[in-house]
Amino acid sequence: MNVLVLNCGSSSLKYQLIDMNTRSVLAKGICEKIGIEGSSLTHKPTGKEQLVVNQPMPDHKAAVKLVMDALLDKKYGVVKSMNEIQAVGHRVLHGGKFYSGSILINDDVKRVIRECFDLGPLHNPANLIGIEACESLMGSTPQVAVFDTAFHQTMPEKAYLYALPYEYYEKYAIRKYGFHGTSHWYVSGRAIEFGKLDKKKSKVIVAHLGNGASISAVVGGKCVDTSMGLTPLEGLVMGTRSGDIDPAVVQYIANKEKRSVDDVLNILNKKSGVLGISGVSSDFRDLEAAAKSGNKLAQTAFDVFVYRVAKYIGSYVAAMNGVDAIAFTAGLGENNGAARKAICDYLGYLGIKLSAKKNQIRGEEVVISTPASKVKVLVIPTNEELAIAMETVKIVKKLKK
Ligand code: AMP
């Protein structure tokens, strides 16, 4: 079965066409600057030359059309007709409290995605346009929604409830939802499998450390807590996001700088995090280079980031009353051994011992702790596209039964 995985961001669309019989990627690519001047498609068919199309894309529908054309193209294409794509899996940001799993898309599902526009204002509208574009271009091909929030729906009330007047939860569904769910699900599952942990009882912490960063506590394969909240702003320090701060800071900056709450939220989302502290970059590679050449604030930003991750790990060990494994994933978690070491240096009290040699291995699943370590530490490369395709196949197979 060939599954097309679509991930529509606010102004981008990432895609992969995966042959699920062999789990191989037939083609992948990205449309950038959708709705903005200078939009382009970069299409990478496996084993063929890449195609770059610079062409205006006024909306996500135009982008989906361009992707389909590329997939079917005589020279750069990988399928001969649309019938060779048997299903589409959509990454959808917010499913509110309505979905705790992936679901076949119908009118009800689209209504819920629409109802969650307020909760995911940048992504949910783009996700819905992507879905409707596929409906109009692909007719009855089954489409599945895989929600970023779904894996975290098993959190207990004590973890997801904010200590606000309860009526706000009842009236507006204000609570912690959590994000990066597909990655936390995939990586915790692989950590249990690869780390040979008990499927029902193991206590795993997943640290998804990329430009966006989040952490989750998973008991027996089910999420019991996670760091992101109502929106992906809460929790860890990120590339450009502040993560946890005293909410009074918002009012304080608004008053001092004579800015609106929306403006301050924009600062917390786009101009804060390691970029905000360092003034150098949101990319940890730039930060590392700047720190090495003596930029003190770049080093401080790295230290603040690492410290926050270590504190969250400590709090999740307390929440689960123990931990069997910690799994690092995403751009930084997979590639930056120095960050992993710095985080684990805080965790000596847990009996964690890293193998300096194993901590250098890249691009594969690996246990980076020594056999003497009381907690297994792993690197598990995340694969959100494959996870979405796996979910899609699961739902479509049920449909056929
Ligand atoms: P992601 O959002 O998962 O793509 O992760 C992006 C972050 O991962 C950026 O801050 C990068 O600096 C970091 N990253 C990605 N690749 C590498 C690498 N090869 N070495 C160090 N950091 C990396």
Residue 353 CB coordination number (10 Å):
16
Confidence of residue 322 (pLDDT cuts 50, 70, 90): very high
* Residues β-bridged to residue 88: 4, 143
Q: Give the Cα separation of 297 and 24 in Å (integer).
A: 43
Residue at 283 is within a domain: yes
In a domain, 94, yes or no: yes
The region that residue 66 occupies, defined by phi over 0 for left and psi between -120 and 50 for alpha, beta otherwise, is: alpha
Residue nearest to atom 18 of ligand 1 (CA): 335
Centre of ligand 1 to C-alpha 48, Å, is 26
What are the DSSP E strand ranges found in 37-84? Answer: 40-45, 51-54
pLDDT of residue 291: 97
Q: How high is the pLDDT of residue 97?
A: 86
The count of domains in the chain is: 2
**Structural domain harbouring 129:** 2-147
The pLDDT score that the predictor gives to residue 9 is 84
What tens digit of pLDDT does each residue of 286-317 get?
A: 999 999 999 999 999 999 999 999 999 999 99
Residue 321 has pLDDT above 80, yes or no: yes
> Is residue 291 domain-shared with residue 373, that is, in the same domain?
yes
Instruction: Give the total residue count for the chain.
Output: 401
- pLDDT over 80 (residue 400): no
357 and 212 fall within a common domain: yes
pLDDT tens digits for range 30-44: 999 999 999 999 999
- Model confidence pLDDT, tens digit, residues 145-171: 999 999 999 999 999 999 999 999 999
Judge if the beta carbon of residue 285 lies within 6 A of ligand 1. yes
Q: 332: CA distance to ligand 1 center in Å?
A: 4
Least confident interval from 99-103, 242-246, 314-318 = 99-103
Q: What is the pLDDT of residue 290?
A: 98
Q: How far is the CA of 50 from the centre of ligand 1 (A)?
A: 23
What is the structure's pLDDT at 399?
A: 82
- Mean per-residue pLDDT, 329-349: 97
Percent of the chain, pLDDT > 90? 94
What pLDDT score does 82 carry?
A: 92
Q: Please give the model's pTM, rounded to 2 decimal places.
A: 0.93
Q: Which atom of ligand 1 is nearest to the CA of 362?
A: 19
Q: Average per-residue pLDDT in the chain?
A: 96
Residues 143 and 203 in one domain: no
Within this chain, do residues 117 and 252 fall inside the same structural domain, yes or no? no
- Does 377 share its domain with 289? yes
Residue 305 domain-assigned (yes or no)? yes
- Residue with the smallest CA separation from ligand 1 atom 22 is 332
d(CA 83, CA 24): 18
- Domain shared by 218 and 283, yes or no: yes
Q: Is the CB of 331 under 6 A from ligand 1?
A: yes
Closest CA to 20 of 400, 384, 392: 392
- Continuous segment of H or E residues that includes residue 28: strand 24-32
Does position 401 have pLDDT exceeding 80, yes or no?
no
- For residue 336, the domain's CATH number is 3.30.420.40
Structure confidence by residue, pLDDT tens digits, 166-207: 999 999 999 999 999 999 999 999 999 999 999 999 999 999
| Cβ of residue 330 lying under 6 Å from some atom of ligand 1 | yes
Task: Report pLDDT digits (tens) over 203-226.
Answer: 999 999 999 999 999 999 999 999
Q: Which atom of ligand 1 is found nearest the CA of 284? A: 12
CA of 334 to the centre of ligand 1 (A): 8
- Across the range 239-245, mean pLDDT stands at 96
The atom number, within ligand 1, closest to the CA of 286 reads 12
Model pLDDT, residue 101: 92
Q: What is the pLDDT at residue 10?
A: 81
Is 211 a pocket residue for ligand 1 (Cβ < 6 Å)?
A: yes
Residue 236, phi then psi, degrees to nearest 5: -65, 160
In a domain, 304, yes or no: yes
Read off the pLDDT of each residue in 321-343 and give the average, rounded to a whole number: 97
Q: What is the DSSP string of 244-299?
A: S--THHHHHHHHHHT--HHHHHHHHHHS-HHHHHHSS-SSHHHHHHHHHTT-HHHH
Mean pLDDT of 266-289: 96
Measured between alpha carbons, how far is 130 from 170 in angstroms, rounded to an integer?
Answer: 31
Same domain, 71 and 219: no
Residue 254 corresponds to which amino acid? A
**Does ligand 1 have an atom closer than 6 angstroms to the CB of 239?**
yes
